[in-house]
Amino acid sequence: MSIAIMTNTMMMSGMNMIINKKWAMPSKDTFSIKPINELLHKIINDGQIVLDPFSNGEREFGTLTNDMNPDVDSDYHLDALQFLKQIGDNSQDVVLYDPPYSPRQVSESYKGFGKQVTALDTSARWRKQHLDEISRVLKNNGILVSFGWNTNGGGIKRGFSQEEILIVAHGGSHNDTLVTVEKIEK
């Protein structure tokens, strides 16, 4: 495997994956962060069905949105797993998966309306359940865009292949935001 570095872009031959690293200020509105917004504009085409189970009120990209917080602008206000289970098989072109990454973020996001925060809310089991449902609802060759502190994404066991990774460095003591773009083959 050879790696060539081109202005903060790494192309890994034989894997057809792009890795970019950019700098931007952090924001709780993930999709407003400039390099992330630009990536989403590149990936999402007009007319695609874009599912966002953790919308946080962001509506620029999601055509079907959900957020547990009843005070945010969203199509549904359900637990993300309950929301995903209502979606039909092979019906979505793109899924934007941007859950709260830590118990602190879950608490900050949902404390205002009685959500009891537990370790389960960010556990591997909780994430596995979401990803199992996401792989079910995506169409063949559908795209999963995952946001977080790792690049695990949906995983090869579910039929995903990584297409692109965007590392958004925020500087100082802020954690980077890692964006993983994957395609599913069924």
If pLDDT is split at 50, 70 and 90, which confidence band does 3 have? very low
Share of the chain above pLDDT 70, in %: 80
Secondary structure tally for the chain: helices H, strands E:
4, 9
| pLDDT of the residue at 106 | 63
Which pTM value belongs to this model? 0.86
Every domain of the chain and the residues it spans: 3-184
The domain made up of 3-184 has a fold known as: Rossmann fold (3.40.50)
Query: For the segment 121-173, what is each residue's pLDDT rounded down to a tens digit?
Result: 556 788 899 999 999 999 999 999 999 888 999 999 999 999 999 999 999 88
| pLDDT of the residue at 102 | 64
For range 18-45, the mean pLDDT: 95
What average pLDDT does the chain have?
Answer: 86
pLDDT at residue 1 tops 50: no
pLDDT at residue 10 tops 60: no
Pairing of strands 50-52, 92-97: parallel
For range 98-115, the mean pLDDT: 68
